[in-house]
Amino acid sequence: MIIHFHYSLTPHTGDVKRIINIDKEFANYFNEDTIEVIFCPVSQLKRVRGRDFFMLSKHTRTKYCIPLIPHSEFINQYYKSIIIAILCIVYKAKVLVGEWYFPSKMVGLIKLLTPKIRIFADIHGAMVEEQLYLNPSIEKKRVAKLRKCENYTMTSADYVICQSTAMKDYIHSTYNIPQDKIIVYRCGYDPNAFTYDWSKRNEIRKELGIKTNDSLFVYSGGLQKWQRIDDCLNVFKHYHEQNSDSKMLILTTEQSLIAQILQKKEYKDITDAIISMSVPFNSVSSYLNACDIAFLIRDVVTMNIVASPTKLAEYFACGLPVISSNVAEHWVDEEAKPYILDINSKTLNKDIDHTLNSTNRSKISEYAYNNLSLNKDHDTITSYLKSLTSNQP
C-alpha cells in the first residue's frame, strides 16, 4: 500500500494536477493502491468533505480528510505525525509520499515502526523564497521556522522529488542533499489534452470573430499580482499601436477582476481589441491553437528560476512562442530559447513580427512533447524507481 498525504483542499489547481500525476506514477509502478490523507482546518472540513471532495485517482482506495486542532500549530505537528505513522502500520505501507513539507518527528517515528518503508518528499518549489517574494516584510523568526521545516523535509526523506533541474541544484546547494537522492519530475502537460492542431485555428477564430491574418495574442491563467497581467496588457498595447489588426484573448475564470483591470484609463484604446472569456479546461487547447503568441511573464527571482511552469509546456504543446522575461532561460534548454521573446527587448515589436512570420509551430510542439510532457516525466521517474528497486536487497 502507498500512503500519500498532502495539503491541497481545492480540486483542479496546478498543485493538485501534479499530485495526481505523482500518485498515478507510484501506484502504477509499485502496483499498489493509495491511501490518500489530507489535513485541513476545521472551518474548511465541511467544504473539503462535500462540495470540493476529490480523490487523486482510480488507485485511491480511501481518502481521509483529517481536521487539524484549532490554534495549536505546535501540537498539530505531532498530531499529524502520529496519524500518518498509524496509517502506515494499519495499511502495511511500502511507500510514503508527502507533498510540500513533513510534520516534525514524522520520519523518525515511521522508520521506528516500519523500518523498510521508502519515504519520498515531493517539493513543489522553494517555499522559503516564495514567502520572501510574496511578503517581503515577513518576520525573520518566521523565515527561520520555514527554513527549518524545509531542511527537515529534505534531509529526513529517503528521496526528494522536485520540478526542475534548477530546483535540484537549489536543494543540493542550500541543504547539501546528494544529487543522486533528488529526482526531477517536471510539472508536465498531458499530450492527450494539449496538442498542435491547425484545424482548430479557423474554427475558433470564426467563433471569436478574428480574421485570418489578424495577430492573436493570448494570456491563459489566473490574475494574481505575480502573474503580471498588467505587463502583458502593456506589451500588447504597445504592439497594437503599430499593428491595429492585432487582438488579444484572455482565458481566465476571474472575469469580474479582468473587467475591473480593463477599466483603467491606460487600456481604453485596446479594450475593443481584447476578448476575455472563461472556457472549460478541456477546451483550452482548441483556443490556444487559434492564437499566434502567448504571454508568461515572471519576475527574475529564485521562486521563478526554480519553477517549471505547466503553462509554458501547454503553450509550447500548441505550437505557441512565448513572451516572457529572461527568467525563462532557466525553464528550457538551448534548443527552445528562440521560441521565447524577452519582454525587456528594446526591439520587442520587431521581435514579435519576426517570430510571427518565421516560427515553425510544429517544431515548438515537437520540442514540448520530447521535453515537457507527462510522457517525458513518466520515463524519468520510471527509470529512477527501477534503479532503486533493482538495488533492493
d(CA 351, CA 345): 8
Give the per-residue pLDDT at 127: 87
Per-residue pLDDT band for 392 (boundaries 50, 70, 90) equals: low
- pLDDT one-digit tens code per residue, 44-80: 999 999 999 999 989 999 999 999 999 888 899 999 9
- pLDDT one-digit tens code per residue, 189-207: 999 999 999 999 999 999 9
Per-residue pLDDT band for 393 (boundaries 50, 70, 90) equals: low
As a whole-number percent, the residues of the chain with pLDDT over 70 amount to 99
Per-residue pLDDT band for 187 (boundaries 50, 70, 90) equals: confident
Give the per-residue pLDDT at 130: 87
Q: Is 360 exposed, middle or buried (0-12, 13-18, 19+ CB in 10 A)?
A: exposed
Give the per-residue pLDDT at 334: 93
Could you count the other beta carbons within 10 Å of the beta carbon of residue 356? 15
Per-residue pLDDT band for 275 (boundaries 50, 70, 90) equals: very high
With the CA atoms of 5, 7, 9 and 13 taken in that order, what torsion angle do they form, in degrees rounded to the nearest 10?
-100
What is residue 102's DSSP assignment?
Answer: P
- pLDDT one-digit tens code per residue, 166-179: 999 999 999 999 99
